C-alpha cells in the first residue's frame, strides 16, 4: 500500500502527455488514413473485429456506431471467454491496466477511483452507521475496497456471477481486489436474483448494484422483479445504489429505471452522476432509492466521510469523493430535468 | 427559432442510437483490424494524417497519443486554412455539425450548450446587473447568444482574431451565430491583447475568455500580461471567466493559470468545471476571478438565471445551466484539491 498518497498525482502525470512537450498538436494522430479508408469502404471489416484488441489498439463504440473511443494497447495480459462473457485485460498507454467485458470498458487503473468511490459512498454516507451491506456484481473488488472505509459495517456480502472476473482482478488489479481481503467480506459466486430471493427479509442496510451494462448476464438487473427482491431484502429506510448509465446517451433507459424504482421504493428516489473519462460521454449515473421507513435525504450526507475514523484505511486517499462532490452529484442539467419525467 | 424548446430531446434522441435497438453491443465497431494493424506497424502513416478527415472519419488524439476520440463524418462542409489556423466543419453521424480548429474539436451542435451556457452564466450570474461585457475569442457566437439572456447588459464587445471562424459560424452554425444579431453586440476583429490595451480602465463588468487551446494564436492568452490587461479593463469587483482545460489531463496548466490569477486578481479566484462529451476526458474547466472591490461569491449566484425575465429569449430553453448546476460546478475531486495548491 506504500505510496498511495501520491496516486492522484501519478495518475495525472501519466495522462498529461500532451502538456509535457508544450504542444498538444504535436502528438501523432492515432488513426492513419489507410484505416479510415478501409472503414469507409469495407463495412464487413467492421463486423469482423467487434470488441477486440487488434495489433495495438482497442476501440469501443460509444453512443452509436458514429463514435468511438480508442486506447493504445501496450500489452494484452488476458483474454478468455468465461461462461458468461468475454473477459479482456490489457495494459494501455494512457490509463494503466484496463478491464473489458464483452467489448465494454469496465474500469481502468487511472480513473477507477471516480466510479468505485461514488457508487459506494453515495449510499453509505446517506445513512447512519450502515452494518449489513450487499454488493451485486462488483467482482473486481473495487466497491468492497471502498465499503471497507466504513468501520460501522459488520458484514459485506458480495454476489458476483462470474468467477473469472474475480480471478482476473486478483491477478491483474491487486489495488481493487484488495477489497476481498477484508474479513467482513463474504463472497457468493452465483446469480444475484437467486441470492436475493433466499436472503432474509430486511437484512441489509444498503445494497449496491455494480453490474455491467444491461445486456448479456446483467439484462435482468434493470427489470422490476429484481428491484422487488432488493426492496424486500432491505430494512425499512434501507438504501439501494444502482449503476445507471449516462444522461447524454441513455435518457430513456434512465427514465424507465426511475419509473420502476418509484413504483417499488416508497422512500426517496434520486438520480446522481459523476465524470469518468473512459466511460461513454464521460458520464456515469447512479439511481439511489430508499425503502419506506426512516426518511433518507440522499443529497446531504448524514454520515460524512470526512468524519469516518477509518476512511483512510490502508492509508489510501480518496481520489474523487468528498462531501461536496456528493452533494454536487445530484445537480442535473436542465434538459435532463425536462426530459426525465420522474426527476421533476 | 421555432422548435427550440425541444432541443434537449432532439439532442438526446440522436445520440441514443444504441438504446434504440436494445443492445449496444450490436452496433458495428468502428476501427477494423486492418487499420489497427497499419497503425501499429507503420508509424509514419500516423504522422501523415494529422488532424484531418480521411475517408469518412475524424479522429482527435486525447490526453496523449495513446488515446483517441473518433467521429464518423457524413459530409465535409468546409475546410480551409485561415491566416491563423486550419478551420474544418463537418457533419457527424452522432453529434450534428462539428467545428474543428487545428485538429481540435471546438464544438458540436449536440453538446455545445454545456460549454456556452457555463462560460457565460457562471460569471454573469455571479454579479448584480452586469452592463458591459467583453468576449475574447468566441467567434462562433455561442457565448454572445447566452449573454443575450441577460437584459441588464447594455454593451457586448467581442474581440475575435479570426474572421474565418465568424464567417463559417454564420454559414454553418446559425443557432450559435444568432448571437451576433443582438444589437448590443459590437464586433472587433483583431488581437485581444491589443484591444484590451486600448480599452478604458474599469470599463467592463465581466470579461469572458472563450479561446481555443493555448497553442497557436491563443498561446499568449494564458500568460500574465494578458491577465494584467484584463484586470485593468475590469471595474472594481468585476469578473473574469476563462476557459481552463480538464483537471484529469492538465493539472499543471491549471495550477499555473491559478497561480497567475491569484497574483493578478485581488478579489476571489475559483475553479469550476462541467461535462462536455466531445472534449478530452469529458471535462472542461473555468477559472473565475474578481478584481478588488465589492466581494464576489462565485459559488452562490447572486443573479440567478431563474429570475431573469429575458432568460428564455427567442424561446430558447437552457440545455444544461441552472442555479444548482452553477453551485455544483465548484465541487472538486479530492485529488484535484490535493494536487492544485492554489485550490487549497
Q: Is the pLDDT of residue B242 over 60?
A: yes
C-alpha cell at position A194: 437467486
Q: What is the pLDDT of residue B253?
A: 85
* B contact test, residue of A17, A18, A22, A29 with most B CBs within 10 A: A29
Residue B194 neighbours by CB under 8 Å, 6+ apart? none
Q: Tell me, what's the pLDDT at B222?
A: 73
pLDDT given for residue B214 in this prediction: 62
Looking at residue A298, what is its pLDDT? 98
Question: What is the predicted pLDDT for the residue at A45?
Answer: 35
User: For residues B147 and B165, what is the distance between their CA atoms, to the nearest angstrom?
Assistant: 19
Q: Which residue has the higher pLDDT, A55 or B325?
A: B325
The answer to whether A176 and A111 are in contact (CB under 8 A) is no
Q: Are A8 and B339 within 8 A, CB to CB? A: yes
Whole-number pLDDT of residue A16: 28
Q: What is the ipTM of this complex?
A: 0.84
Q: Looking at the complex, does the CB of residue B61 fall below 8 Å from at least one CB of chain A?
A: yes
* pLDDT value of residue B212: 74
- Contact criterion met (CB < 8 Å) for B249 and A327: no
Chain segment A92-142, per-residue pLDDT in tens: 999 999 999 999 999 999 999 999 999 999 999 999 999 999 999 999 999
Segment B166-177 mean pLDDT: 98
pLDDT in the model for residue A23? 32
Q: How confident is the model at residue B16 (pLDDT cuts 50, 70, 90)?
A: very low
- What mean pLDDT, rounded, does chain B reach? 83
Question: Would you state the pLDDT for residue B59?
Answer: 86
What is residue B314's predicted lDDT score, i.e. its pLDDT? 66
For residue range B275-314, list pLDDT tens digits in order: 999 999 999 999 999 999 999 999 999 999 999 887 776 6
Per-residue model confidence (pLDDT) at position A339: 84
User: For the packed helices A224-233 and A251-264, what is the interaxial angle rounded to 10 degrees?
Assistant: 40
- A77 is written with which cell numbers? 495480459
Are A123 and A301 spatial neighbours (Cβ–Cβ below 8 Å)? no
From the list B28, B249, B322, the residue facing A334 with the nearest CB is: B322
Calculate the alpha carbon distances from A102 to A96, A105, B26, B70, B75 in Å: 19, 9, 11, 20, 32
Q: pLDDT tens, B28-63?
A: 233 333 333 333 333 333 333 334 666 588 988 765
Q: B152: Cβ–Cβ under 8 A, 6 or more apart, which residues?
A: B129, B130, B131
* Choice among B111, B157, B162, B210 that is catalytic: B210
Q: Which residue of B has its CA nearest to A68?
A: B70
Q: Is B304 on the interface with A (CB under 8 A)?
A: no
Contact A114, A322 (CB under 8 A): no
Q: Over the stretch B71-99, which tens digit does the pLDDT of each residue have?
A: 999 999 999 999 999 999 999 999 999 99
User: Which pLDDT belongs to residue A52?
Assistant: 59
| Rounded Cα gap, residues B47 and A233, in angstroms | 57
Distance, in Å, from the CA atom of B310 to the CA atom of B316, rounded to the nearest integer, reads 10
Helices (H), chain A: 7-14, 17-20, 33-41, 43-48, 112-124, 142-147, 163-172, 174-177, 192-198, 224-233, 251-264, 323-328, 334-339
Search chain B and give the residue with CA nearest A101.
Answer: B25
3-state secondary structure A269-325: EEEEEEECCCCHHHEEEEEEEECCCCCCCCCCCCCCHHHCCCCCHHHCCCCCCCHHH
Which strand (E) or helix (H) includes residue B55? none
pLDDT at A340: 80
Q: In which element (H, E) is residue B230 found?
A: helix B224-233
Of all residues in chain B, the one with the smallest CA distance to A215 is B23
Closest CA relative to residue B122, chosen from B141, B98, B147, B156: B147
- Read off the pTM: 0.85
* Residues 181 through 220 of chain A touching chain B, CB cutoff 8 Å: 213, 215-216
Report which of residues B249 and B195 the model is more confident about: B195
Q: Does B253 touch chain A (CB under 8 A)?
A: yes
Report the candidate in A280, A297, A289 with the shortest Cα–Cα distance to residue A69.
A280
pLDDT lower than 70: segments of chain A: 1-55, 62-64, 213-219, 313-315, 344
Kindly report, residue by residue over B258-270, the tens digit of the pLDDT: 999 999 999 999 9
User: Measured between CA atoms, how close is A210 to chain B, in angstroms?
Assistant: 18
Chain B residues near residue A285 by CB distance under 8 angstroms:
none
For residue A140, with 0-12 CB atoms within 10 Å meaning exposed, 13-18 middle and 19 or more buried, which class applies?
A: buried
A210 catalytically annotated: yes
**Nearest Cβ partner for A31 among B68, B325, B329:** B68
Amino acid at each position: 500500500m506504500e505510496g498511495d498518497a501520491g496516486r492522484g498525482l501519478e495518475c495525472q502525470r501519466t495522462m498529461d502527455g500532451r502538456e509535457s512537450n508544450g504542444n498538444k498538436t504535436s502528438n501523432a494522430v492515432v488513426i492513419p488514413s489507410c484505416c479510415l479508408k478501409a472503414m469507409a469502404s469495407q463495412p464487413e471489416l467492421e463486423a469482423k473485429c467487434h470488441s477486440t484488441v487488434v495489433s495495438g489498439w482497442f476501440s469501443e463504440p460509444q453512443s452509436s456506431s458514429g463514435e468511438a473511443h480508442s486506447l493504445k494497447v501496450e500489452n494484452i495480459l488476458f483474454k478468455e471467454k468465461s461462461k458468461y462473457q468475454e473477459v479482456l485485460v490489457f495494459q494501455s498507454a494512457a490509463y494503466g491496466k484496463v478491464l473489458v467485458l464483452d467489448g465494454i470498458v469496465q474500469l481502468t487503473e487511472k480513473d477507477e477511483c471516480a466510479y468505485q468511490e461514488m457508487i459506494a459512498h453515495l449510499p453509505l454516507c446517506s445513512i447512519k452507521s450502515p452494518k449489513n451491506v450487499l454488493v451485486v456484481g462488483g467482482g473486481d473488488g473495487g466497491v468492497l475496497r471502498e465499503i471497507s472505509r466504513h468501520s460501522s459495517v459488520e458484514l459485506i456480502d458480495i454476489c458476483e456471477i462470474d468467477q473469472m472476473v474475480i480471478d482476473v482482478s486478483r491477478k491483474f488489479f491487486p489495488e481493487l481486489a484488495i477489497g476481498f481481503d477484508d474479513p467482513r467480506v463474504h463472497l457468493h459466486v452465483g446469480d444475484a436474483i437467486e441470492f436475493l430471493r433466499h436472503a432474509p427479509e430486511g437484512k441489509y442496510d444498503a445494497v449496491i448494484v455494480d453490474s455491467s451494462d444491461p445486456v448479456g448476464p446483467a439484462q435482468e438487473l434493470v427489470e422490476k422483479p429484481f428491484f422487488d427482491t432488493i426492496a424486500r431484502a432491505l430494512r425499512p429506510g434501507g438504501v439501494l445504489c444502482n449503476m445507471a448509465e449516462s444522461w447524454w446517451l441513455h435518457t430513456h433507459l434512465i427514465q424507465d429505471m426511475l419509473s420502476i424504482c418509484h413504483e417499488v421504493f416508497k422512500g426517496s428516489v434520486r438520480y446522481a452522476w459523476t465524470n469518468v473519462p473512459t466511460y461513454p460521454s464521460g458520464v456515469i449515473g447512479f439511481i439511489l432509492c430508499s425503502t419506506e421507513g426512516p426518511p433518507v435525504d440522499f443529497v446531504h450526507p448524514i454520515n460524512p466521510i470526512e468524519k469516518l475514523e477509518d476512511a483512510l484505511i490502508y492509508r489510501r486517499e480518496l481520489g474523487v469523493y468528498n462531501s461536496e462532490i456528493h452533494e454536487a452529484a445530484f445537480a442535473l442539467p436542465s434538459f435532463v430535468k425536462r426530459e426525465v419525467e420522474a426527476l421533476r
